[in-house]
Amino acid sequence: MKRYIILALCLLAVSTASAWNKFAQECIATLAEQNLTEKAKSETTKILGGDLASGAWWLQTIAKNEATKHTAHWHYIKITADLTSTTKSNKDGVVQIENCIDVLTNRAEHSDSTVVAALKTVIHLVADMHNLAHVRIENIPNSRHNFEFQISNGFSGKKAALATSSWRKFWDSNIINRHATYSPKLFADDLQTCYGADKERFSKGDVRHWAADMARLAAPLYKWAQPDMIMSREQHNRLEPMNDKTMARAGYRLAALLNEIFQ
């Protein structure tokens, strides 16, 4: 009996884990898959033995292992005060994506397992670098530390209530969980409907440009977002399209990157 209660609590806890959650990762990977060239699709399927979504969560699963816990740093990107990405540190998502691009481009020189790991890492990190809570900007302390704030349920009078959330948890799972009853394909189809016309514009540039683009989106957000703030239901609702748009950027950019590597 006790065992099942613990299991049930664990299942609830998993859905609020502190990373862009599995559903969001799979949606982004599915959107990317829908935009791969035939050649890229065939190559990635051969490497992974499945679709991109099948490899999307792997990097998260190894972050807690003793031997691979250093990868926990890779889920964030470092941005300088002038909103550019110039870091060479290995503790950075952009640098790790560049390392993986190198492995995948020269895949004949690497073992199969290294190539598989590189592809799974790229899928996950291109998604994560587009999570607004994963952009760490040099002169904005709130972007570099997780903080707690309160979310209003929108009610007034006796039913008014505030729920405490962390900033990271909000962007990692809270917003996207409004659509967690969809299959990843259904949500990816919606992103395609909504942002298909922006695909070319979003895909331009390289990983460093994309990081700078995310910094430009995130910086103004931190002028507003402060520890202990109260987020109204209306503000909560208005942030949702911002999250969708960053997911669309991630999906299209991941596709563009893989199409270029496997052209």
Partner 1 sequence: MKRFLTIVSVLCIFATTQTVKAWNNIGHATIAVIAERHMTEEAKEKCRHYLKHNLPYYASWMDYWRNCPGFEETHYWHSVPVDEKNKQVKGETRNAAYQINRICKQMRKYHKLKDSIVADNLKYLIHMVGDMHCPVHTKYSPNEPNLKQRSVKVKGKKLGFHSYWDASIGYYNKGMKCDQIAEKYDTLTEAEIAAICQGKPNDWATVNAIEMREIYTLLPMHSEVTEISEQNHARMKEIAMQQALRGGYRLAKVLNEIFSK
Among 153, 162, 226, 227, binds partner 1 (CB under 8 A): 153
Considering the complex, state which of residue 5 and residue 67 has its C-beta at the smaller distance from partner 1.
5
Helix 184-195 to helix 233-261 angle (10° resolution) is 90
Residue 20, sorted as left (phi over 0), alpha (psi -120 to 50) or beta, turns out to be beta
Out of 50, 141, 154, 205, point to the residue binding partner 1 (CB under 8 A). 154
Binder to partner 1 among 69, 70, 178, 216 (CB under 8 A)? Answer: 178
Contact status: 108 vs partner 1 (CB under 8 A): no
Instruction: Quickly count: other Cβ atoms within 10 Å of residue 200's Cβ.
Output: 9
Q: CA nearest 52: which of 34, 71, 75, 64? A: 34
Q: Binder to partner 1 among 18, 72, 114, 182 (CB under 8 A)?
A: 182
Q: Is 90 in the site for partner 1 (CB under 8 A)?
A: no
Residues contacting residue 3 through CB under 8 Å, at least 6 positions apart:
none
Minimum Å gap between C-beta 153 and partner 1 is 7
Please report which residue ranges of the chain form alpha helices under DSSP H: 2-14, 22-34, 38-48, 52-55, 58-62, 93-105, 112-128, 141-144, 167-169, 184-195, 199-203, 207-224, 233-261
Q: Does 13 bind partner 1 (CB under 8 A)?
A: no
* 198 touching partner 1, by CB under 8 A: no
Of 3-11, 72-80, 141-149, 164-172, the segment contacting partner 1 by CB under 8 A is 3-11
Contacts of 178 (CB under 8 A, 6+ apart): 240
Q: Which of 138, 190, 206, 260 binds partner 1 (CB under 8 A)?
A: 190
Q: What DSSP string runs through 157-198? A: GGG--EEEEEHHHIIIIITGGGGTTS-HHHHHHHHHHHHGGG
Among residues 1, 13, 67, 108, the one that binds partner 1 under rule CB under 8 A: 1
Q: Which region among 48-56, 182-190, 223-231, 246-254 touches partner 1 (by CB under 8 A)?
A: 182-190
State the nearest-atom distance from the C-beta of 11 to partner 1, in Å: 7
> Does the protein bind partner 1 through residue 201 (CB under 8 A)?
no
Binding-site ranges for partner 1 (CB under 8 A): 1, 4-5, 7-8, 11-12, 15, 153-156, 159, 178-183, 185-186, 189-190, 193-194, 232-234, 236-237
